[in-house]
Structure 1
Amino acid sequence: MSGTPPAPAAGVRKGAQKGVGEVLGEGAHEGVHEGAAGRAFGPRLITPLMLGSLLNPINSTMISTALVAIGHSFHAGAADTAWLVSSLYLASAIAQPTMGRLADRLGPRRVFLTGLLVVGAAGAVGTLAPSLGWLICSRVLLGIGTSAAYPAAMALLRAHSQRLGVPTPRPVLGLLSLAGLSSAAVGPVLGGVLAATLGWRAVFAVNIPLALLGFLLAALWLPRTGPAPSPATASGPAKTDAQAQAGAGHGRKPPESLDPFGILLFGALLTTLMLFLMRLGHPSWYLLAVAALLAAGLAGWELRRRAPFIDLRMLARNKPLSLTYLRHGLTYLVIYCVMYGYAQWLEEAHGFSSSTAGLLMLPMSVAAMATSLLGARTKGIRAPLTMAAVLLGVGSVMLLGAGHTSPALLLAAGGALFGLPQGLASTGNQAAVYAQAPPGETGSAAGLQRTAQYLGAITAASLIGLFYGQRATDAGLHDMALTAAVLSVAVLLLTLLDRSLRSRRG
């Protein structure tokens, strides 16, 4: 599930120096009257931003209960339809940080609107697709288009805040997070209902009215914002410390800051790895050699850049942050294996309809929403992350005992067991990124966290293809559950052995 990372607080440098509880506890009232903040960030501003921000998570999960119907339509197995999952995450992993940089340079409103147009076009391509290949193209376009909304929304809120001299209220940021969680929760159910009633093409067609509505509301209500002025070159009296911090990271960047060649190398590396992972049953080992060459080229290029697309030096120095990315990616590898693999098993091995499978998956998403709200109120990090790892292991053991004769109530409870750690891990790792990110780089750090999550999703899609082959079976589910149990132990060890989490009130 595509969880939405919280935006950086206005005082990024100050927040990075505080404990996690202090960072999360700061309210929108800091230095400003709450009533003024509420008026400045009203429904007309937040409604289109929420609508745009829900498109990526809802498209991430909505496809899960339509994969079987798509496979039957094009005579494709699970290994082939897995491309529909991994292609969107591959595109998103590259596009999220790229769109954030474009929003800073070209203006967030412009990038937000352009992204919605791409989403609408992607919906049309998927609705009319004559083959699985065209559907994959539609998913790539959806990954690119939906990736524009969240970073552009954050940049727009920051620009709006600076212009009015009113900090963005924390409840506003919470609404954006809730939009992502709730849309991810209803995604499997909505996809199942659409596939069962109107056909699987409706899963793609629904993006057209959503994108058009979002575009109309954004064009009418969002303030016109150009590229943010550079703090270093801004004229006028010297900024206060708070103003300088609020503007950090949102100034006009030099052309080299986008690093297009670094983005190209990164995309080529991820694509090569995905091509290898998608055929684990018959691996093409030469692709690993190509990936190694691309990784070496990317490292050499980024290390010579003053403003690299991926700051490898920072990641090498900041080992706690790097461990958080690894822990987050492995956690979501398990979660996405269950989210997609379990839904397919419910339909193909157990014989449930796509709509019933979506309903059985609903407890997983509802549990994730509930524990994410609970996790957001928790000051510590280590305790909720430890509990998340334990719950992942418990859920994996439960799936080892599941079969095609298991009662529906037990199957729904099994899904909920994986939703509980999802919410705890999402908020816990986000808080860790907040605390571990270098001063002034919280936004970039949050973007890389999403990339780690998408890499987990891509790997999960390949493992599902390996375990299931052409059809989901009990044996394939048990192989997936055993792998999830091993990965859960790894996540637990990464949590317990991370000393930096012990000093974060956890």
Structure 2
Amino acid sequence: MNTRNRWLMISVGLGMLLNPLNSSMVSVAIPRLQNAFQLDFTVVSWIIFSFYIASAISNPVVGKASDLFGRKKIFLIGLVVAFVSSLLAPLSPNFGWLIVFRIVQSIGTSMMISVGMAIIRIHITEKQATALSVLTIFQSGAAAIGPFIGGILIHWWDWPAIFFVNIPFVVVSFLFCWKTIPKDEKPSSFVRGMSFRKWLDLIDASGILLFTVGLIALLVGLLSVKSSGHVSFMNVIVGLIGLIALGAFVRHELQAKSPFIPLRTFAKYPALTWVNVQFMVVNILFYALFFGIPSYLQTVRHVSEFHTGILMLSLGLCSLIASPLAGRWIDKSGPRSVLLVSAILMTLGSVWIVTLNQTSPVISVCLALAAFGISNGLNSVGMQAALFKSSPKEIIGVASGLFSTSRNLGAILSSLLISIVMGGSFSFRGFRELGIILTIIALSLVLMSWKRRESGELQEQTNSRSQGLDK
């Protein structure tokens, strides 16, 4: 790989790490934000919801926009958006404005995630697999050390520091990308003559609107029931609006020519459907622990942000160590055994959470974090391998988009689960209840992985027999 390609890879990687870094640093900031804005846990959870909802919506839209208007242009715009949001978020006069800037930040960083991989695939032709693996390390490394960095920054400078820390990364990435990313080709006459209405049809604006309204209304309805302590008529109405909008979204997507989420693909490829369902369940488990443990340590056990970040480092380090080992394992025996072991580790980690009591050593949470960290490393490679194995080559782009959506939905559902269980404040009793629920979900994941393993082995035996008969 020549020097120019190395600098291109570093430049793009610095921009792409901002999304996982910002989604992970906030896990340590939630208790401090509760105190700063005098809000309960349910309301502060929207700092998580807003980021993943915006990311789920913007990823496919930005992907289409980059194909039409140029990848370098979209990447640089994403850096500018991330810079502005990181600069203004700490100046928010109230929590509502902080959510607005958090959404803007998610859109900006998602623009780089969506376009970065495409830039590398197009402009680096030699040792392309190595280049893509390096970008994966940028992202997984940022997610792994995010809570540690967030803990240090909040401990010494308070919560605004987790936004200001983005600025040097953005500036350096922008300067490098301006020089290293080749110029975009001029848009075709079709793009130049495209009307605004055609552009809205292309990105499926109606589908995006229905999905956004439905998801937010349903979340508001469910969360308000828990935080208010009773079911009011307004809670029911808001929840029903959400369900109706999501139902209309499903109907619209099945009929749309260019759907926001191509639901017909799920019906056509059942194996792909199961991979996405399993990936969503995996992320419900992972993010429930990822966001739950820091609040438990700080709110219930009164551990400082600094020490919380250090303890959370065990999760990230185990994940980074397990990922390359998973790759070798999958090359030898395929993804099924890896995913089964991962599900078992998540079950053991969830059971360990249930066994903790209020006098247990704080460091004992590292066992649960290590189990989930190893399983995350196995899943990050295993689920990707399962995706490629179950996806026909002609729809691999669509399959990758659906895969990313499944991750975001899993993160959203995990935050919803924590908020419903905890209500207004984080407690030891709620944390134990969360552990019980996670154990049940993890056991269902073990069963799902085992059945898929058995069905896969039967399919392989059938294929080998048919091949023998042919001979």
TM-score normalised by length of structure 2:
0.89
State the distance in 2 between where 1:172 and 1:486 align.
39
Shift of 1:403: 2.6
Number of the residue aligned with 1:287? 238
Label 1:466 to 1:302 Cα distance change in 2 as closer, same or farther (>3 A). closer
State the distance in 2 between where 1:71 and 1:194 align.
17
State the distance in 2 between where 1:227 and 1:297 align.
38
Number of the residue aligned with 1:5? none
Q: Quick check: which one's helix share is greater?
A: 2
Mapped contact 1:97–1:444 kept (Cα < 8 A)? no
Shift of 1:227: 6.5
Select which of 79, 88, 106 maps to 1:143. Answer: 106
Number of the residue aligned with 1:249? none
The answer to whether structure 1 residue 472 and structure 2 residue 429 are counterparts is no
Residue 279 of structure 1 aligns to a residue in which SS? helix
Higher RCO, 1 vs 2 (CA within 8 Å, ≥6 residues apart): 1
Unaligned runs of 5+ in 2: 190-197, 462-471
Number of the residue aligned with 1:121? 84
Number of the residue aligned with 2:464? none
Shift of 1:277: 4.0
The answer to whether structure 1 residue 105 and structure 2 residue 68 are counterparts is yes
Mapped contact 1:349–1:472 kept (Cα < 8 A)? yes
Select which of 195, 210, 220 maps to 1:275. Answer: 220
Residues 234-273 of structure 1 mapped to structure 2, 5 A cutoff: 255=199, 256-273=201-218
Residue 310 of structure 1 aligns to a residue in which SS? coil
Mapped contact 2:4–2:180 kept (Cα < 8 A)? no
State the distance in 2 between where 1:144 and 1:469 align.
28
Shift of 1:160: 2.0
Residues 15-54 of structure 1 mapped to structure 2, 5 A cutoff: 38-39=1-2, 42-54=5-17
Shift of 1:501: 4.4
Number of the residue aligned with 1:433? 387
Mapped contact 1:343–1:357 kept (Cα < 8 A)? yes
Select which of 269, 273, 277 maps to 1:326. Answer: 277
Q: Count the aligned residue pairs.
A: 443
State the distance in 2 between where 1:462 and 1:405 align.
28
Number of the residue aligned with 1:217? 176
CA RMSD of aligned residues (A): 2.3
1:259-295 Cα shifts (integer Å, max 9, x gaps): 2222222222332233234335156233342233223
The answer to whether structure 1 residue 306 and structure 2 residue 257 are counterparts is yes
Shift of 1:364: 0.8
Number of the residue aligned with 2:465? none
What letter matches 2:215 in structure 1?
L
State the distance in 1 between where 2:300 and 2:236 align.
32
Label 1:227 to 1:78 Cα distance change in 2 as closer, same or farther (>3 A). farther
What letter matches 1:343 in structure 2?
P
Label 1:42 to 1:485 Cα distance change in 2 as closer, same or farther (>3 A). same
State the distance in 1 between where 2:159 and 2:144 align.
19
Mapped contact 2:16–2:113 kept (Cα < 8 A)? yes
Number of the residue aligned with 2:156? 197
The answer to whether structure 1 residue 178 and structure 2 residue 137 are counterparts is yes
1:68-92 Cα shifts (integer Å, max 9, x gaps): 1111111112212111111101111
Number of the residue aligned with 1:401? 355
Number of the residue aligned with 1:374? 325
1:455-498 Cα shifts (integer Å, max 9, x gaps): 11112112222222333221111011001001101212222223
1:139-183 Cα shifts (integer Å, max 9, x gaps): 11111111011221122223325xxxx356101000111111100
Mapped contact 1:71–1:78 kept (Cα < 8 A)? yes
Label 1:226 to 1:267 Cα distance change in 2 as closer, same or farther (>3 A). farther
The answer to whether structure 1 residue 454 and structure 2 residue 408 are counterparts is yes
The answer to whether structure 1 residue 169 and structure 2 residue 132 are counterparts is no
The answer to whether structure 1 residue 59 and structure 2 residue 13 are counterparts is no
Unaligned runs of 5+ in 1: 1-37, 231-253
Shift of 1:41: 6.3
Number of the residue aligned with 2:166? 207
Number of the residue aligned with 1:155? 118
Label 1:357 to 1:504 Cα distance change in 2 as closer, same or farther (>3 A). farther
State the distance in 2 between where 1:196 and 1:372 align.
30
Mapped contact 2:24–2:146 kept (Cα < 8 A)? yes
Number of the residue aligned with 1:72? 35
Shift of 1:367: 0.9
State the distance in 2 between where 1:228 and 1:374 align.
43
Label 1:195 to 1:272 Cα distance change in 2 as closer, same or farther (>3 A). same
Shift of 1:42: 2.1
State the distance in 2 between where 1:115 and 1:472 align.
35
